[in-house]
Amino acid sequence: MVSSPPPNEDGAKPAYGATTEWLRNEGAACDVVLSSRVRLARNLAAHRFVPQSDRTQRQQVVSLSQQAISEIGSCVWIDIHRTNDLEKQLFVERQLMSRQHARGKLAGGIGGPDEPRGLAVSLPDERVAIMVNEEDHLRIQCMRSGLALSEALAAADTLDDELEARLEFAFSPRFGYLTACPTNVGTGARFSVMLHLPGLKLLGDIDKVKRAAEDMSLAVRGFYGEGSKAIGDFYQVSNQTTLGKTEQVLLQELERDIIPRVMDYERHARRTLFEKRKSTTQDRIMRSVGLAKYVQLISTEEAMEHLSMIRLGAAIGMLNGSSMQAVNKLFLLVQPGHLQHRAGHALTQHERRVERAAVLREYLRDVG
């Protein structure tokens, strides 16, 4: 049987049947922007960075961080090295931690499933997640639905101040916050947004966006960030460097300039599709609806592609009985970990395809 993730002292744990912050479909520009995230990389002074430390030193970092986080009192603490693989997968799918953190593998191949590390999550909103002993000692993440980088940054700065009042961070007057990876030195801040860009993808213009982003020193990644591909027409756009620019400059470039331009491109692409390729576009959307309502077997990637088309149909008001919020929830529920949690036991790949099809039929039976 699949066990539930370990609760905190009060018995709280994530509600895996519910949606999470980045899929609530609320906030500005949520037709294109699913979520905004601010991540701060921090390391403890007088402690070796994670890749250069030994197991005893990494355990000390876990103990110090857990104590500081517990004093703040806004997050549930989870010992990741004591959770099973399915539980870790659920956290990854909910964007609460990285795949690297789930595996416990560090630079140079050291570490493994029992590597000392932790995760702190704010409940029930899941807006805050703190990874301990990933690439850096602390990775502080604040998430908001829609285009809300300013709000996410304010929350991250508040939490950063609370932690820094209890922990001494590695800081250089010349370089700023010191991090394991040189590209994070300075503010240690990464700003990212999750974009749904089916219009640009259908028009064949998505590569232009990628090239333009790279020219502006931005990273374009897939659904699960670094090392993942863009399934379901979802793309994460983030800054690549943090040295030499303040948090406010980085934020303004993304929130007020770059992302609004991408949003305009996507909305223009959607209008073009329904003005010049209306029958073809409607056919693609309705084929996805029909398949989702009657499919018996389906893979994760195929489900995401069809849900992307259904979300496009919901966004332009083409479909009855469907909302973008409901479709957003399905992006989570069709993932392998959530399917197995729903079933209450481990599933083979074939069984997951059957269960995934059942979820689609259940949630989309009235869409049309």
pLDDT digits (tens, 9 = 90+) for 113-163: 889 999 999 998 999 999 999 999 999 999 999 999 999 999 999 999 999
Decide: 363 and 330 in contact? Cβ < 8 Å. Answer: yes
Chain centroid, CA 293 distance in Å: 27
**Which residues are bridge partners to 105 per DSSP?**
111
Give tens-digit pLDDT for 19-36. 788 888 888 999 999 999
Report the pLDDT value the prediction gives residue 226, as an integer from 0 to 100: 59
Decide: 364 and 319 in contact? Cβ < 8 Å. Answer: no
Q: Whose CA is closest to 203, among 132, 270, 141? A: 270
Report the pLDDT value the prediction gives residue 64, as an integer from 0 to 100: 98
Sequence-separated (6 or more) residues with CB below 8 Å from residue 186: 175, 176, 177, 241, 242, 243, 244, 245
Q: Going residue by residue through the chain (368 aa), what tens digit of pLDDT does each one get?
A: 333 444 444 446 777 877 788 888 888 999 999 999 999 999 999 999 998 999 999 999 999 999 999 999 889 999 998 899 999 999 999 999 999 999 997 766 677 888 999 999 999 899 999 999 999 999 999 999 999 999 999 999 999 999 999 999 999 999 999 999 888 888 999 999 999 999 999 999 988 888 888 877 788 887 766 555 668 899 999 887 766 778 888 888 889 888 999 999 999 999 999 999 999 999 999 999 999 999 999 999 999 999 999 999 999 888 877 778 889 999 999 999 999 999 999 999 999 999 999 999 999 988 87
Q: Biggest alpha carbon distance in the chain? A: 64
Give tens-digit pLDDT for 36-50. 999 999 999 999 999
Report the pLDDT value the prediction gives residue 4, as an integer from 0 to 100: 40
CA dihedral 227, 242, 157, 87 (to 10 degrees): 10
Report the pLDDT value the prediction gives residue 202, as an integer from 0 to 100: 94
Distance in angstroms (rounded) separating the CA atoms of residues 277 and 270: 10
Distance in angstroms (rounded) separating the CA atoms of residues 182 and 172: 13
Report the pLDDT value the prediction gives residue 316, as an integer from 0 to 100: 87
Report the pLDDT value the prediction gives residue 298, as an integer from 0 to 100: 98
Q: Which amino acid is at 184?
A: N
Q: Which fold has domain 21-269?
A: Creatine Kinase; Chain A, domain 2 (3.30.590)
Q: Which amino acid is at 10?
A: D
- What would the two tokens of residue 113 be? 């499933």
- What would the two tokens of residue 321 be? 């009985």
Give tens-digit pLDDT for 107-117. 666 778 889 99
SS3 label, residue 204: coil
- What would the two tokens of residue 222 be? 């897939």
| Segments of the chain assigned to CATH 3.30.590.10 | 21-269
Report the pLDDT value the prediction gives residue 6, as an integer from 0 to 100: 42
- Long-range contacts, 278-283 (Cβ 8 Å, 24+): 281/202, 282/318
Per-residue HEC secondary structure of 133-145 comes to CCCCCEEEEEEEE
Report the pLDDT value the prediction gives residue 8, as an integer from 0 to 100: 44
